[in-house]
A and B are shown apart, each in its own frame.
Chain A
Amino acid sequence: MIKQIQHVYRQLFEFVNKGKNPYFFSIGLIVVGSLAVYSSPQSIPGFLLFLFAASSIYWLKMNRAIQLALAVFVAVILIPILGARNVFYLEVIFQIAVFSALALGLNIVVGFSGLLNFGYMAFYAVGAYLWGFFGSQQPYLLHSTVTTVTKGVPFFMAPDWWYLFIFIGVIIAAIAGLILGLPVLRVRGDYLAIITLAFGETIRQLANNLDKPWNFTNGPQGITPIQRPTMPGGVLTMFNNVFGGIVGHPITVNQAYNILFYIVALLVVISVIIVTYRLDDSKVGRAWTAVREDELSAGAMGINANKLKLGAFFVGASFAGAMGVLFAASRTFVSPETFTFLQSVGVLTMVILGGLGSITGVIVGATLVTLLNIQVLQSFSLYLGQLRQSDAAFLGFHWKNLSNQIDPAKYQRLIFGIVLVIMMIYRPSGILPAARRQRELKGAGEGEGDEAKGAERG
Chain B
Amino acid sequence: MKKIMGAGPLREIVMPIFQMAIFVVGAGVLCSVIMMILAVLCRGSGADHLLQSTQGVGIFTYTVSNLPQVLIDGMTIGFVYAAIALGYTMVYGVLQFINFAHSEIFAIGAFAGVESLIALNTAGKLAGVGAMGTYTYFGLALLIGMAAAGGMAVFVERVAYRPLRNSPKLVPLISAIGVSFALQDIIRLTESLTTGQFFRVIPTFGNFDNRIPLFSFSGKPIEITVKSFVVIVIAVAMLVALNYLVKATKVGKAIRAVSQDQNTAALMGIGVNGIISLCFLVGGALGGAAGVLWGLKFTRIDPFVGFVPGIKAFAAAVLGGIGNLTGALLGGIVLGMIESFAGAYLGIFTQGAFGAEYKDMLAYLILILVIIFRPHGLLGENIGQKA
Answer whether residue B372 sits at the interface, using C-beta atoms and an 8 A cutoff: yes
Q: Is the CB of B375 within 8 A of A186?
A: yes
Q: A188-B385, A194-B98, A197-B311 are in contact. Are A419 and B352 (CB under 8 A)?
A: no
Are B166 and A420 touching (Cβ within 8 A)?
no
Given contacts A118-B177, A345-B177, contact A198 B311 (CB under 8 A): yes
In the assembled complex, the CB of B318 is this many whole angstroms from the nearest CB of chain A, namely 8
- Docked-complex contact A421 and B368, CB < 8 angstroms: no
The CA-CA distance from A188 to B368 in the complex, in Å, is 13
Are B368 and A198 neighbours in the complex by a CB distance under 8 Å? yes
B298 at the interface (CB under 8 A from A): no
Evaluate contact between B175 and A421: CB separation under 8 angstroms.
yes
Main SS at interface, chain A: helix
3 nearest interchain CB pairs? A420-B178, A417-B182, A417-B181
Range for the number of chain B residues in contact with chain A: 35 or more
Does B179 touch A at the CB level, under 8 Å? yes
> Which stretch in A84-92, A202-210, A254-262 binds the other chain?
A202-210
Interface string of A319-345 (1 = CB under 8 A from B): 000000000000000000000011001
Stretch at the interface among B125-133, B244-252, B356-364: B356-364
Contact with B along A164-208 (1 / 0, CB 8 A): 000000000000000000110011111101110111011001101
The residues of A that contact B160 with a CB separation of less than 8 Å are: 421, 424-425
Interface pairs (17), CB distance under 8 Å: A114-B170, A189-B386, A189-B387, A195-B371, A198-B364, A202-B365, A213-B350, A345-B181, A405-B192, A417-B179, A420-B175, A420-B177, A424-B164, A424-B174, A428-B171, A447-B166, A451-B168
Judge whether B172 and A417 touch: CB under 8 Å: no
Nearest-CB residue, chain B, relative to A448: B168
Complex alpha-carbon distance, A114 and B169, angstroms: 11
Which residue of chain B has its CB nearest to the CB of A116? Answer: B170
Residues of B near A199 (CB, < 8 A) are 364, 368
Residues of B within 8 A of A364 (CB): none
Looking at B167, B181, B373, the one whose CB has the most chain A CB atoms below 10 A away is B181
Q: Does A134 contact B (CB under 8 A)?
A: no
Output the least CB separation between B173 and chain A (Å): 5
A205 to B373 CA separation, bound complex (whole angstroms)? 23
- C-alpha gap A352/B174 in the complex (Å): 9
A209: contacting residue among B174, B177, B315, B357, CB under 8 A: B357
The answer to the question of A131 belonging to the interface, with a C-beta cut-off of 8 Å to chain B, is: no
Among B177-201, those with CB < 8 Å from A are 177-186, 188-189, 192-193, 196
Residues on A with beta carbons closer than 8 Å to the beta carbon of B208: none
- Map CB proximity to B onto A193-234 as digits: 1 under 8 Å, 0 otherwise: 111011101100110110011000000000000000000000
Which residues of chain B have C-beta atoms less than 8 A from A417's C-beta? Answer: 177-185
**Nearest CB of A to B186, in Å:** 7
Is there a chain B Cβ closer than 8 Å to A414's Cβ? yes
Tell me whether B367 is interfacial, beta carbon within 8 Å: yes
B349 CB, nearest partner CB in chain A, Å: 13
Given that A213-B353, A417-B185 are contacting pairs, would A424 and B386 also be in contact in the complex, using a CB cutoff of 8 Å?
no
Is the Cβ of B167 less than 8 Å from the Cβ of A183? no
A246 CA to B184 CA in the complex, in Å?
Answer: 48
Closest to A406 in B: B193
Number of chain A interface residues as a range: 35 or more
Please give, as numbers and ranges, the residues of chain B lying within 8 Å of A191 by CB-CB distance.
318, 371, 375, 386
Per-residue A-contact encoding for B257-290, CB less than 8 Å = 1, 0 else = 0000000000000000000000000000000000
A456 CB-CB contact with B under 8 Å:
no
CB distance from B350 to the nearest CB of A (A): 8
Taking a contact as CB atoms under 8 Å apart, the answer to whether B171 and A198 are in contact is: no
Contact A424 B375 (CB under 8 A): no
A118, A424, A447 interface centre (most CB from chain B within 10 Å) = A424
Do the beta carbons of B368 and A190 come within 8 Å of each other?
no
Q: Mark B141-183, 1 if CB is under 8 A from A, else 0.
A: 0000000000000000001100110111111111101111111
B97 close to chain A: CB less than 8 A: yes
Contacts of A118 in B (CB 8 A): 177
Contact B371 A421 (CB under 8 A): no
A182 to B318, CA, bound (A): 19
Contacts of B196 in A (CB 8 A): 403, 405
A425 touches B175 (CB 8 A): yes
Tell me if B345 counts as interface (CB < 8 A to partner A): no
Nearest-neighbour CB distance to chain A for B12, whole angstroms, equals: 30
Contact A195 B368 (CB under 8 A): yes
Residues A84-127 near B (CB distance < 8 A): 114, 116, 118
Beyond A198-B311, A414-B186, A447-B166, 17 extra complex contacts between A and B, CB < 8 Å = A187-B385, A194-B318, A194-B371, A201-B360, A201-B361, A205-B357, A206-B361, A295-B387, A342-B181, A345-B181, A348-B177, A405-B193, A416-B182, A417-B177, A417-B183, A420-B174, A421-B179
Q: Does B111 contact A (CB under 8 A)?
A: no
Structural contact, A348 and B174, CB atoms closer than 8 A: yes
B193 CB → nearest A CB, Å:
5
Which residues of chain A are within 8 angstroms of B182 by Cβ–Cβ distance?
A: 413-414, 416-418, 421
Identify B361's interface contact among A114, A202, A345, A451, CB under 8 A.
Answer: A202
Q: Does A239 belong to the interface (CB within 8 Å)?
A: no
| Residue contact A195 to B170, C-beta cutoff 8 Å | no
- In the complex, A186 Cα to B383 Cα: how many Å? 13
A386–chain B nearest beta-carbon distance, Å: 20
- For the complex, what is the distance from the CA of A341 to the CA of B364, rounded to whole Å? 14
| Shortest Cβ gap from B99 to chain A (Å) | 11
- Which of A190, A202, A416 is in CB contact (< 8 Å) with B98? A190
Residues from chain B with Cβ under 8 Å of A187 in the complex: 371-372, 375, 385
Query: In this assembly, does A73 line the interface, its C-beta being within 8 Å of a C-beta of chain B?
Result: no
Known: A188-B386, A418-B182. A116 touches B174 (CB 8 A): yes
B167 surroundings in chain A (CB, below 8 A): 424, 428, 448, 451-452
A183 adjacent to B368 (CB under 8 Å): yes
Partner of A188, one of B188, B357, B387: B387
Asked if A420 meets B181 with Cβ closer than 8 Å, knowing A405-B189, A411-B189, the reply is: yes
* One of B170, B181, B371, B387 near A183 (C-beta < 8 A): B371
B178 x A194 contact (CB < 8 A)? no
Tell whether, in the assembled complex, residue B367 and residue A198 are in contact, meaning their CB atoms are under 8 Å apart. Answer: yes
Instruction: Kindly supply a per-residue 1/0 record for chain A positions 397-417, scoring 1 wherever the CB is within 8 Å of any chain B CB and 0 otherwise.
Output: 000000101100001011011
Which residues does chain B contribute within 8 Å of A448, judged by CB atoms?
Answer: 166-168
**Any chain A CB within 8 A of the CB of B79?**
no
- Taking A189-B169, A405-B196 as contacts, is the C-beta distance between A212 and B353 under 8 angstroms? yes
CB distance from B273 to the nearest CB of A (A): 17
**Nearest-Cβ distance from residue B130 to partner chain A, whole angstroms:** 38
Q: What separation, in Å, do the CA atoms of A187 and B318 have in the docked complex?
A: 13
Q: Which residue of B163, B170, B354, B365 is within 8 Å of A425 (Cβ)?
A: B163
